[in-house]
Amino acid sequence: MKQYIFSRLGVFSLLSLILGSMILAGCGSSSGTGSSASTNCNGLAPHPKKAHYRIGFSQEVDNAPWRIAETTSVQEAASAAGDTVIYTDAQNSDSKQVSDIQSIIAQHPDVLLISPLTEDGEVSAIQQAHANCIPVILLDRDADHAKVTPGKDYVTFIGSDFVKEGQRVADWMFQATHGNAKIIELQGTTGASAAVNRTQGFNNEIASHPGMKIIASQDANFDRATALKVMQTLLQSHPDVTTVCAENDEMALGAIDALKAAGKTPGKDVLVSSIDGENGALQAIMAGEEGIVIQCNPRLGPAAFQAINDYANGKTLPTWIVSQDNQYTTANAAQAYKAGDGF
């Protein structure tokens, strides 16, 4: 009887060991499963190691220096690895991006890179890729963690700390204005993780300084022409503005044009700040028209392909691979421009 119980226990623990390791291989941690392809994608999709991969890349829009630099970086890293890229441009539309991703899924890529337009807009497509056992890496913008989870539904998010970027702009502004400012905030695309988190970082920091007031805040879609129009309208109702916080360089350049058209001197009458580090913004600093640019690195190709290889090699990836970002002021903008840091 004693022996019988023991042998039953033995079989039971053996079974639970096997089951446990199967579950571990299938879910939870962001590690690849080497060459053993699995049809169980309750956990992360497997990514068998191969000499060359077919990589899907769904870009949300390709209309400005930051996006072009990102796309170029991915394409260069792919050709350096001898990999091919199935590329789509969603032209700033959530619904187009969802159908773009569906068409890439139908072509069964080894890995799918997505730069999602908004946090919620592409969630269903990320889930679809996962259901089809295609590993997804989010590049540059993240998705809503209440709906999809890195390390579970997708492998990882590679990109900057947007909250910190907003905080850094606010800290500079506090110093530059001695804590007294009437601020116009030009926000990025509503619902985009870069906009949501930059706003959160900036606004929280500003809230602790009573002399610093956000007098107007509006979505200008990360776009120069939109920012020009928005700023022209806002200047009519808020001619007393002293500083502009633009959530990307393109909008700062639009705001600078609007300020000039209104007879104001950017950099003197109104301080301007932004995030990215494109050549146009570095030149604006050199011309004294912008005070600070917090860098947001668009050259994410090398990090993406490193992650693709590490995952195939079975390494455990962090759920967020954070880009390290510089900052530019009159102290270093000319040097950075010459060195080719801009894009």
Contact 174, 209 (CB under 8 A): yes
CB of 320 to ligand GYE, least distance (A): 14
Nearer of residues 25 and 192 to ligand GYE, judged by Cβ: 192
Binding mask 67-86 for ligand GYE (x = CB under 6 A): x-------------------
Q: Which of 77, 91, 133 is nearest to 109 (CA)?
A: 133
Nearer of residues 31 and 71 to ligand GYE, judged by Cβ: 71
CB of 249 to ligand GYE, least distance (A): 7
Among 113, 184, 194, 336, which residue sits at the site for ligand GYE (rule: CB under 6 A)?
194
114 is a site residue for ligand GYE (CB under 6 A)? no
Nearer of residues 101 and 300 to ligand GYE, judged by Cβ: 300
CB of 163 to ligand GYE, least distance (A): 13
Nearer of residues 194 and 235 to ligand GYE, judged by Cβ: 194
Residues 23, 208: Cα–Cα separation, whole Å: 47
Please state the three-class secondary structure of the chain as a single string: CHHHHHHHHHHHHHHHHHHHHHHHHHCCCCECCCCCCCCCCCCCCCCCCCCCCEEEEEECCCCCHHHHHHHHHHHHHHHHHCCEEEEEECCCCHHHHHHHHHHHHCCCCCEEEECCCCCCCCHHHHHHHHHCCCCEEEECCCCCCCCCCECCCECEEEECCHHHHHHHHHHHHHHHHCCCEEEEEEECCCCCHHHHHHHHHHHHHHHCCCCEEEEEEEECCCCHHHHHHHHHHHHHHCCCCCEEEECCHHHHHHHHHHHHHCCCCECCCEEEEEEECCHHHHHHHHCCCCCEEEECCCCCHHHHHHHHHHHHCCCECCCEEECCCCEECCCCHHHHHHHCCCC
Among 183, 228, 293, 296, which residue sits at the site for ligand GYE (rule: CB under 6 A)?
296
Binding mask 138-157 for ligand GYE (x = CB under 6 A): --xx----------------
Nearer of residues 47 and 67 to ligand GYE, judged by Cβ: 67
Q: Which of 143, 105, 135 is nearest to 32 (CA)?
A: 135
CB of 23 to ligand GYE, least distance (A): 35
Nearer of residues 41 and 292 to ligand GYE, judged by Cβ: 292
CB of 297 to ligand GYE, least distance (A): 9
Which residue shows structure tokens 């539904």?
153
Nearer of residues 83 and 276 to ligand GYE, judged by Cβ: 276
Nearer of residues 252 and 333 to ligand GYE, judged by Cβ: 252
Among 222, 311, 328, 343, which residue sits at the site for ligand GYE (rule: CB under 6 A)?
222
66 is a site residue for ligand GYE (CB under 6 A)? yes
Kindly identify the residues of this chain, within the stretch 257-276, that bind ligand GYE according to CB under 6 A. 275-276
Q: Which residues contact 19 (CB under 8 A, 6 or more apart)?
A: none
CB of 222 to ligand GYE, least distance (A): 4
248 is a site residue for ligand GYE (CB under 6 A)? yes
119 is a site residue for ligand GYE (CB under 6 A)? no
Count of residues near ligand GYE by CB under 6 A: 11
Residues near ligand GYE (CB under 6 A) are 66-67, 140-141, 194, 222, 248, 250, 275-276, 296
